[in-house]
């Protein structure tokens, strides 16, 4: 970057989480990376939830600690793995905000979200099978209240500000660790345990385990995540003004 503290959209478009990868690969390869990354992320979320329930059946707090630690660590590894390939979004609201900020095209935004959701659902099935459950095991775990919805807004806003706050101040290399730390921490300080991801939310409806969510509860979680994304978009524009030259057109 010519000026790390004030990167242009063209420069942001190659960074992890704010663009489509430094390698400049074709769309097909990037979609595979997004699907595979989200798949592995969900395997970590659901698989560690099942394992935690079995290892610590009488201690919900310890289960949450185990689930949060595994998810945070896996997320760090996955962003390091795929950041240069596809941008390592693994999350439709991350992609949506990047579109609103002009660093990814509309076509790629739609296809990224589809790939992320398909990959997430595949990951849930694989996690279920790894623990000798039915591949599709629809959740009955109700998560529906104003407090949970507010938590999703806060978790999503915080996630997106962590990403853009790092990248837009010349610290893109710490994004994997900052994102992992935020998600790991938000498991504990939000009552919803910080889904903050529509693809993850859909995928977690397919596992009736510790990490699951009843399909009837999922739509409001997703709505609140989108609300959080829109708030974060406004805050990013306000707090991190920069040169908008070189933005990606539709």
- How many angstroms separate the CA atoms of 225 and 221, rounded? 6
Residue 247 lies in a domain: no
User: What is the rounded end-to-end Cα distance, in angstroms, of the chain?
Assistant: 24
Q: Which of 77, 95, 110, 121 is CA-nearest to residue 17?
A: 95
pLDDT for position 11: 80
Which residues on adjacent β-strands are paired with residue 137?
Answer: 207
Residue 68 belongs to domain spanning: 9-239
Whole-model pTM: value is: 0.93
Averaged pLDDT score across all residues of the chain: 94
DSSP 188: H
Q: Where does the pLDDT of residue 213 fall: very low under 50, low under 70, confident under 90, or very high at 90 and above?
A: very high
> Is residue 232, in this structure, part of any structural domain at all?
yes
**DSSP per position, 100-160:** HTTSS-HHHHHHHHHHHHHHHHHHHHHHHHHTTS-S-B-------SHHHHHHHHHHHHHHH
Tens-digit pLDDT profile for residues 144-196: 999 999 999 999 999 999 999 999 999 999 999 999 999 999 999 999 999 99
In a domain? residue 207: yes
Number of domains present in the structure of the chain = 1
Which tens digit of pLDDT belongs to each residue from 5-46?
A: 777 777 888 888 889 999 999 999 999 999 999 999 999 999
Q: What is the pLDDT of residue 249?
A: 56
Per-residue pLDDT at 14: 86
The answer as to whether 2 is a domain residue is no
Q: Is 61 exposed, middle or buried (0-12, 13-18, 19+ CB in 10 A)?
A: exposed
Q: Please give the pLDDT value at position 83.
A: 96
214, 140 contact by CB (below 8 A): yes
CATH of the domain at 156: 1.20.1080.10
pLDDT for residue 248 is more than 90: no
Is residue 14 a part of any domain in this protein? yes
How confident is the model over 55-72, as a mean pLDDT? 96
Domain-located, residue 136:
yes
**248 assigned to some structural domain:** no
Domain presence at residue 122: yes
SS3 content of the chain, % helix, strand, coil (to 5): 65, 0, 35
The region of weakest confidence among 37-41, 80-84, 159-163, 243-247 is 243-247
């Amino acid at each position: 970057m010519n000026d790390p503290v004030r990167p242009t959209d063209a420069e942001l478009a190659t960074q992890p989480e704010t663009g489509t990868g430094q390698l400049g690969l074709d769309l097909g390869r990037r979609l595979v990376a997004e699907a595979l990354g989200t798949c592995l992320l969900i395997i970590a979320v659901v698989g560690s939830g099942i394992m935690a329930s079995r290892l610590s059946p009488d201690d919900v707090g310890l289960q949450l600690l185990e689930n949060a630690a595994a998810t945070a660590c896996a997320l760090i590894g996955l962003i390091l793995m795929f950041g240069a390939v596809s941008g390592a979004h693994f999350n439709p609201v991350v992609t949506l905000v990047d579109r609103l900020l002009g660093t990814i095209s509309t076509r790629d935004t739609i296809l990224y979200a589809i790939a992320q959701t398909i990959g997430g659902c595949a990951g849930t099935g694989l996690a279920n099978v790894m623990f000798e459950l039915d591949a599709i095991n629809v959740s009955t775990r109700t998560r529906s209240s104003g407090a949970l919805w507010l938590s999703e807004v806060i978790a999503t806003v915080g996630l997106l500000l962590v990403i853009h706050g790092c990248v837009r101040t010349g610290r893109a290399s710490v994004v994997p660790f900052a994102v992992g730390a935020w998600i790991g921490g938000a498991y504990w300080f939000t009552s919803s345990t910080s889904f903050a991801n529509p693809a993850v939310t859909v995928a977690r409806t397919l596992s009736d385990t510790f990490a699951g969510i009843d399909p009837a509860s999922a739509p409001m979680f997703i709505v609140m995540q989108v609300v959080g994304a829109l708030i974060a978009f406004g805050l990013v524009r306000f707090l991190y003004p920069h040169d908008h030259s070189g933005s990606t057109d539709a």
